[in-house]
Amino acid sequence: MRRVLIPLFSLLLLAAACGGDGGAFSSTTTTEAPTTSEAPTTTEAPTSTGAPTTTEMPTTTEAPTTTGGGAINSPEELIDFIAGEVAGGDGPYDDESARCFAEGVVDDVGYDRLVDLGATTANADPEEVFAGMTDAEVGIVADVALGCLDMHALFVQQFTSQGLPQAAAVCIADGVAGAPFVHEMVVAGLLGQPFDPMTDPEASALILGLVTQCMSG
């Protein structure tokens, strides 16, 4: 299960963190109709920007590399490896939460099952591992992630990296971190599937309300 957390949690940008007008989670943009005072020229083909877009969950198209050069041979080795991957890099996760996630995945999915899925082989592809899981198993991994890892800190980090002010990022993260659709987004990301929370009426209402509240304060 190589390099699993970075591509997985990149999906949690939650649609567009900044719209063209400065608002977060902007799902559509509008353009003004051209005036008729001047005849339009044909030097440049008009583009359409009004159609809503769906957020494409990042996928791991390249086989990740190993740091040790060989297969993993025990549950402890797999836990250590996953924990190291989660706690490393630029993510906001400490060693304790990273190990919580790693132990939860190995314990709840099962080491033997992960072996069958190819998670312990050299250069294992996380996308292939998750694609081989049942819906219940993918849900288990999502549950473990949401139970062990600080989603609020992740949201704040991702929102500010997209240009939101710190106060607005914290405000939106406060309202989003425990929302039911976050679990669906994690599942979609594990499977490399697109997910647009703006197509869900409840999620859309929550997001737009948070944007209005947090960006105006």
| pLDDT per position as a tens digit, 119-159 | 898 787 888 889 999 999 999 999 999 999 888 888 898 88
| pLDDT of 96 strictly over 70 | yes
Query: Alpha carbon of 82 to those of 8, 99, 103, 194, 217: distances in Å?
Result: 13, 8, 9, 25, 40
Contact present, 176 and 204 (Cβ < 8 Å):
no
- Which value, in Å, is the radius of gyration of the alpha carbons in the chain? 20
For position 217, what pLDDT does the model report? 63
At 151, which amino acid appears?
A: M
Q: Which of 15-24, 49-58, 71-80, 195-204 has the lowest mean pLDDT?
A: 15-24
pTM > 0.75: no
| pLDDT of 64 strictly over 80 | no
The token duo for 120 is: 């312990």
pLDDT in tens, 115-129: 999 989 878 788 888
The more confidently predicted of residues 179 and 106 is 106
